[in-house]
Structures are given as C-alpha cells and as structure tokens.
C-alpha cells in the first residue's frame, strides 16, 4: 500500500454513530491533531433515532455530537445495496436476520469511497474488540477489512493496541502509544474516559438494529422468503402494526387509531389501504394474492378486530394510488386461519 503525499495535517473519515465509543475514538484522534470527517449511515432497519432534546429536534444526536466535537458531519442513506445483503448475505447472519459482517463490509467500502472523494488518508471506527459477538471478533475484523478493500486503512483507536499496527500507525501519522487496549463488553473503561474528558451526555450502548431483534426478525424472514424482490417501502411497512401471512396474502393491521392515521399517510400513493367506515376498527393493508383472496382475509380481520357489539357487513373505504372506492365486506367468523397466520 502506497501512502499519499504528506499534507500539513492528516485527515480521516470516522464512521460516526454518535454513541460513546465513536465519540471517544474521535476525541482520541482529535487530541493527536488528526482532522476528522464524520460519516453517519442511516440504515433502513435501525430503530428511530430520538432527536437531541437540547437542540429543539433540529439535529439528530449523532449530528449534534459531531458539532460539539467540531467535526464536519455527513449523513448517508443506505438503499438497494443494503437490501441486497439482507436478502443474500455472503457471510451469514447472527441470531436474528442480521448480516453484520456483510453490513460492515458495505459500510467500509462506502467510507473508503468518501475518503478518496475528500482526499483523506484513512478510516476510523469506534469498534471494540470482543464487544459485538458477530462483527467484532478478531477473525471477523480481518474478514471485514480484507473483503472491503480497506486492509491496513481502518484504525480502531479504542482497541488499537490489541490489533496489528495499521498504516496511520506505521507511517507515524498517529502515535500508537496514545491509543487504547479496550476489550470486551464491559464499558467501565469507556465510562472512565468519558469522565476524564468531561463527556457528560451520550446515548446508551444498544446497537439499535431491528435485524438483531428476534421478534422483528420473524417479519423480515417472512418478507425475504415470500417477496425476495422487496423494496424500501416494504421494509418500512414492517414497522407498523400486526402482520399476518394467510396463504399468498400479507396483511398489515394497525393497532390503534393513531396508527391507523400513520399507516394511511405512509401508504398514500404507494399501496392500497382499507379504512373501516361503518365500524370502529383497524386500517388494513393487503398485499399479494388475487382480489377474492384479499377480500376473504379482510372480512376475517375486520370481524376479529372491529367492534364486537356491531356485527357486519362492513363498509370500507379503499384508498389506493388509483383513487378511492367504497366496498362492502361480509362478516366471517371463521378467522382461525388468520390467527394462525400472525407473524408479529
């Protein structure tokens, strides 16, 4: 690997989640005079990020943490390339549907492209050896660096002394003696550093990836198996309501009045939503199957989840990308198949 010509100050791209580990990694290198550029990935399966409370919701916690550190911040949205690795991960999955190694490889490839775009010299992460069971083992780290094309370019300041020296260390851009040797899932050393450096506010240690959640993974597995050509719309639809698979029909059933409205707004112009007009009941999205099969599932869902005091038939407004129409749905109390089809 040939190093680039020596600039007055070395620049690096840091994969920046805004969590404590990435904040500490950034602070470690800022103290050595490295210029950092924060790259924050927005993954389709991440839990919704809570806005920073002291910033009136204008910026995310990650962006505000970067601002406080004085480093430029770029947010990157992951799309179809990311969905491909969820469909067909080369390096397997964790206990849920999480393709952590493939996900990390993609992240590093994108980070390297950003590094080359801005003329930076290496990549930084807040990873800690042994902290994550799938992607932060020694062998996994080597696999990720090799397959991403970033071998020798990725500096992990919090565990650097436990790993072979990287290019920024061997070239003298970074003083290895001022890096750390943190290992494992305990966060005592990180909390000690945070106190020493007076870092008073930082989010918890949860990864936030829904693909590691075993309950949510049931819905993802169903999507991968029954609709392998799924798109981002289908991914975000997984975050709404109850999900059923009844033969070829997939049904998404809102759980509350508030969720009715959110589901209707989300699907506007993208998919048909059935809104109960004659009875208090859930809004329902039906995908797959033929019209008769969808109507059969809808009648059983409305019988099961609408007001029991008012029997059907049900008057339903179907709002689709092609317009609106009112349909009458018969009552059907044989909803055992629907009950068995509950995914989550």
Compute, in degrees rounded to 10, the torsion defined by CA atoms 114, 117, 118, 123: 40
Non-local CB neighbours of 115 within 8 Å, separated by 6+ positions: 12, 13, 121, 122, 123, 153
Cα–Cα distance between 134 and 261 in angstroms, integer?
Answer: 38
The owner of tokens 């995914």 is 343
Domain regions of the chain by residue span:
11-196, 240-340
What confidence tier does 55 reach under pLDDT thresholds 50, 70, 90? low
**Which pLDDT score is estimated for 3?**
47
Instruction: Work out the average pLDDT over 113-136.
Output: 94
SS (H, E, C) 271-298: CCEEEECCCCCCCEEEECCCHHHHHHHH
Smallest Cα–Cα separation from 89: which of 105, 78, 77? Answer: 105
pLDDT of 309 reads 61
2: pLDDT strictly greater than 50: no
pLDDT tier for residue 8 given thresholds of 50, 70 and 90:
low
Residues 305-320 have a mean pLDDT of 84
Beta partners for residue 303, in sequence order: none
Rounded to an integer, the average pLDDT of 39-46 is: 92
313 upstream amide cis, omega within 30 of 0: yes
Q: For residue range 100-119, what is the model confidence (pLDDT) as tens digits?
A: 999 999 999 999 999 999 99
Nearest Cα to Cα of residue 246 among 344, 340, 331, 318:
340
Q: What is the pLDDT of residues 161-180, one digit of tens each?
A: 999 999 999 999 999 999 99
- One of 3.40.367.20, 3.90.180.10, 3.20.20.140, 3.40.50.620 is the CATH number of 11-196, namely 3.40.50.620
Please tell me the predicted confidence (pLDDT) of residue 339: 87
Cβ atoms of residues 286 and 249 within 8 Å: yes
User: Is the pLDDT higher at 4 or at 298?
Assistant: 298
Residue 47 has pLDDT above 80, yes or no: no
């Amino acid at each position: 690997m040939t190093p680039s010509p020596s600039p007055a100050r070395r620049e690096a791209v840091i994969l920046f989640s805004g969590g404590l580990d990435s904040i500490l990694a950034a602070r470690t290198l800022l103290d050595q005079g490295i210029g950092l550029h924060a790259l924050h990935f927005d993954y389709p399966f991440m839990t919704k990020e809570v806005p920073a409370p002291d910033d009136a919701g204008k910026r995310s916690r990650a962006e505000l943490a970067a601002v406080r550190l004085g480093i430029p911040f770029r947010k990157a949205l992951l799309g179809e390339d990311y969905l491909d690795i969820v469909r067909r991960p080369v390096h397997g999955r964790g206990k849920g549907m999480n393709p952590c190694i493939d996900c990390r490889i993609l992240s590093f490839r994108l980070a390297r492209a950003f590094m080359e775009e801005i003329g930076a010299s290496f990549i930084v992460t807040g990873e800690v050896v042994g902290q994550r069971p799938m992607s932060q083992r020694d062998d996994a780290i080597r696999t990720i660096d090799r397959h991403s094309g970033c071998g020798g370019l990725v500096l992990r300041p919090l565990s650097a002394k436990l790993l072979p020296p990287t290019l920024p260390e061997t070239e003298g851009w970074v003083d290895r003696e001022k890096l750390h040797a943190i290992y494992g899932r305990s966060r005592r050393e990180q909390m000690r550093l945070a106190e020493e450096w007076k870092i008073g506010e930082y989010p918890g240690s949860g990864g936030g990836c829904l693909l590691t959640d075993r309950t949510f993974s049931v819905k993802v597995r169903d999507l991968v198996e029954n609709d392998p050509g799924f798109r981002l719309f289908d991914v975000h639809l997984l975050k709404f309501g109850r999900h059923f698979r009844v033969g070829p029909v997939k049904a998404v059933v809102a759980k509350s009045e508030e969720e009715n409205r959110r589901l209707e707004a989300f699907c506007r112009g993208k998919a048909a939503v059935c809104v109960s007009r004659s009875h208090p009941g859930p809004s329902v999205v039906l995908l797959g199957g033929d019209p008769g099969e969808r109507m059969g599932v809808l009648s059983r869902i409305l019988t099961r989840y609408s007001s029991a005091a008012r029997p059907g038939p049900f008057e339903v407004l179907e709002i689709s990308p092609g317009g609106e129409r009112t349909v009458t749905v018969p009552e059907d109390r044989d909803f055992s198949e629907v009950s068995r089809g509950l995914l989550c």
